[in-house]
Structure 1
Amino acid sequence: MPDRYLTPDDIAETFVVPVETVYYWRKRRIGPPGFRVGKHLRYDPVKVREWAREQQGRDLSEAA
Protein backbone atom coordinates (compact mmCIF):
# COMPACT_ATOMS: atom_id res chain seq x y z
CA MET A 1 0.00 0.00 0.00
CA PRO A 2 1.30 3.52 -0.72
CA ASP A 3 2.84 5.59 2.05
CA ARG A 4 0.39 8.46 1.57
CA TYR A 5 -3.27 9.13 2.22
CA LEU A 6 -5.43 7.12 -0.14
CA THR A 7 -8.23 8.28 -2.40
CA PRO A 8 -11.53 6.46 -3.00
CA ASP A 9 -10.07 5.29 -6.32
CA ASP A 10 -7.11 3.77 -4.45
CA ILE A 11 -9.48 1.94 -2.10
CA ALA A 12 -11.54 0.63 -5.04
CA GLU A 13 -8.40 -0.59 -6.79
CA THR A 14 -7.02 -2.22 -3.63
CA PHE A 15 -10.19 -4.19 -2.91
CA VAL A 16 -11.15 -4.70 -6.58
CA VAL A 17 -14.57 -3.09 -6.24
CA PRO A 18 -16.22 -0.24 -8.13
CA VAL A 19 -15.59 3.21 -6.66
CA GLU A 20 -19.36 3.47 -6.15
CA THR A 21 -19.03 0.62 -3.64
CA VAL A 22 -16.46 2.62 -1.68
CA TYR A 23 -18.89 5.54 -1.42
CA TYR A 24 -21.71 3.13 -0.49
CA TRP A 25 -19.52 1.67 2.31
CA ARG A 26 -18.83 5.20 3.56
CA LYS A 27 -22.52 6.16 3.51
CA ARG A 28 -23.45 2.99 5.42
CA ARG A 29 -20.38 3.29 7.72
CA ILE A 30 -19.30 -0.26 6.95
CA GLY A 31 -16.05 0.40 5.09
CA PRO A 32 -12.66 1.67 6.14
CA PRO A 33 -12.79 4.97 8.04
CA GLY A 34 -12.19 8.00 5.85
CA PHE A 35 -11.91 11.71 6.47
CA ARG A 36 -12.37 14.91 4.51
CA VAL A 37 -9.63 17.29 3.50
CA GLY A 38 -11.68 20.18 2.24
CA LYS A 39 -13.98 18.58 -0.30
CA HIS A 40 -11.72 15.56 -0.85
CA LEU A 41 -12.19 12.19 0.80
CA ARG A 42 -9.01 10.50 2.04
CA TYR A 43 -8.10 7.32 3.89
CA ASP A 44 -5.20 6.64 6.24
CA PRO A 45 -3.42 3.49 4.95
CA VAL A 46 -2.81 2.30 8.53
CA LYS A 47 -6.55 2.48 9.30
CA VAL A 48 -7.36 0.74 6.01
CA ARG A 49 -5.02 -2.15 6.92
CA GLU A 50 -6.61 -2.38 10.38
CA TRP A 51 -10.08 -2.46 8.86
CA ALA A 52 -9.04 -5.18 6.39
CA ARG A 53 -7.61 -7.30 9.25
CA GLU A 54 -10.87 -6.90 11.16
CA GLN A 55 -12.79 -8.08 8.09
CA GLN A 56 -10.52 -11.13 7.80
CA GLY A 57 -10.99 -11.94 11.48
CA ARG A 58 -14.75 -11.58 11.15
CA ASP A 59 -14.80 -13.82 8.12
CA LEU A 60 -12.76 -16.52 9.87
CA SER A 61 -14.91 -16.42 13.03
CA GLU A 62 -18.12 -16.72 11.00
CA ALA A 63 -16.72 -19.74 9.14
CA ALA A 64 -16.06 -21.63 12.38
Structure 2
Amino acid sequence: MDELLKAHEAAALLHTSERFVRRLIAERRIEFVKVGRHVRIRESALLAFVVAGTVEPLTTHDVTGKAA
Protein backbone atom coordinates (compact mmCIF):
# COMPACT_ATOMS: atom_id res chain seq x y z
CA MET A 1 0.00 0.00 0.00
CA ASP A 2 1.27 3.47 -0.91
CA GLU A 3 2.13 5.97 1.75
CA LEU A 4 -0.52 8.68 2.15
CA LEU A 5 0.99 12.16 2.05
CA LYS A 6 -0.29 15.40 3.50
CA ALA A 7 -0.43 18.42 1.19
CA HIS A 8 2.75 19.94 2.61
CA GLU A 9 4.61 16.63 2.23
CA ALA A 10 3.52 16.32 -1.41
CA ALA A 11 4.57 19.93 -1.98
CA ALA A 12 8.02 19.20 -0.56
CA LEU A 13 8.44 16.22 -2.91
CA LEU A 14 7.38 18.33 -5.91
CA HIS A 15 9.48 21.32 -4.75
CA THR A 16 6.40 23.52 -4.97
CA SER A 17 4.22 25.38 -2.52
CA GLU A 18 1.48 23.76 -0.47
CA ARG A 19 -0.93 26.18 -2.12
CA PHE A 20 -0.12 24.66 -5.55
CA VAL A 21 -0.89 21.16 -4.27
CA ARG A 22 -4.14 22.32 -2.69
CA ARG A 23 -5.11 23.94 -6.01
CA LEU A 24 -4.44 20.64 -7.82
CA ILE A 25 -6.76 18.94 -5.34
CA ALA A 26 -9.47 21.61 -5.64
CA GLU A 27 -9.35 21.43 -9.45
CA ARG A 28 -9.29 17.61 -9.26
CA ARG A 29 -6.14 17.51 -11.37
CA ILE A 30 -4.55 14.97 -9.02
CA GLU A 31 -6.04 11.87 -7.43
CA PHE A 32 -6.57 12.15 -3.68
CA VAL A 33 -8.10 10.24 -0.77
CA LYS A 34 -10.41 11.66 1.89
CA VAL A 35 -9.81 10.30 5.37
CA GLY A 36 -12.62 11.83 7.35
CA ARG A 37 -12.14 15.58 6.89
CA HIS A 38 -8.50 15.17 5.89
CA VAL A 39 -7.18 15.00 2.34
CA ARG A 40 -4.25 12.72 1.54
CA ILE A 41 -2.37 12.02 -1.68
CA ARG A 42 -1.00 8.59 -2.53
CA GLU A 43 2.65 8.53 -3.56
CA SER A 44 1.64 6.66 -6.73
CA ALA A 45 -0.86 9.43 -7.59
CA LEU A 46 1.90 12.00 -7.19
CA LEU A 47 4.16 10.00 -9.50
CA ALA A 48 1.33 9.61 -12.05
CA PHE A 49 0.81 13.39 -12.01
CA VAL A 50 4.50 13.97 -12.72
CA VAL A 51 4.59 11.35 -15.49
CA ALA A 52 1.47 12.82 -17.12
CA GLY A 53 3.17 16.22 -17.25
CA THR A 54 6.47 14.95 -18.61
CA VAL A 55 7.35 16.32 -22.03
CA GLU A 56 9.66 14.28 -24.24
CA PRO A 57 12.56 16.22 -25.82
CA LEU A 58 12.56 16.90 -29.55
CA THR A 59 15.02 15.05 -31.76
CA THR A 60 16.82 16.56 -34.73
CA HIS A 61 14.38 14.70 -36.99
CA ASP A 62 11.41 16.28 -35.20
CA VAL A 63 12.83 19.77 -35.73
CA THR A 64 14.20 19.55 -39.27
CA GLY A 65 12.24 16.65 -40.71
CA LYS A 66 15.51 15.07 -41.85
CA ALA A 67 17.45 12.16 -40.41
CA ALA A 68 20.46 13.17 -38.31
Into which bin does the TM-score normalised by the smaller protein fall? 0.7 to 0.9
What's the TM-score, normalizing by structure 2?
Answer: 0.69
Runs ≥4 residues deviating over 3 A: none
Structure 2 unpaired stretches of 5+: 63-68
Query: Considering only aligned residues, what root-mean-square deviation do their CA atoms show, in Å?
Result: 2.0
Which of 37, 56, 60 is matched with 1:60 structurally? Answer: 56
Larger radius of gyration: 2
Report the alpha carbon displacement of residue 19 of structure 1 after superposing the two structures with TM: 0.6
Query: Is 2:29 the counterpart of 1:24?
Result: no
Q: Following TM superposition, by how much is the alpha carbon of 1:15 offset from its aligned partner in structure 2, in angstroms?
A: 0.9
1:35 CA drift (Å):
1.4
- TM-score under structure 1 length normalisation: 0.72
Unaligned runs of 5+ in 1: none
Identity of matched residues, %: 16
Whole-angstrom distance in 2 between the partners of 1:47 and 1:20: 18
The corresponding residue for 1:41 is: 39
- Counterpart code for 2:17: P
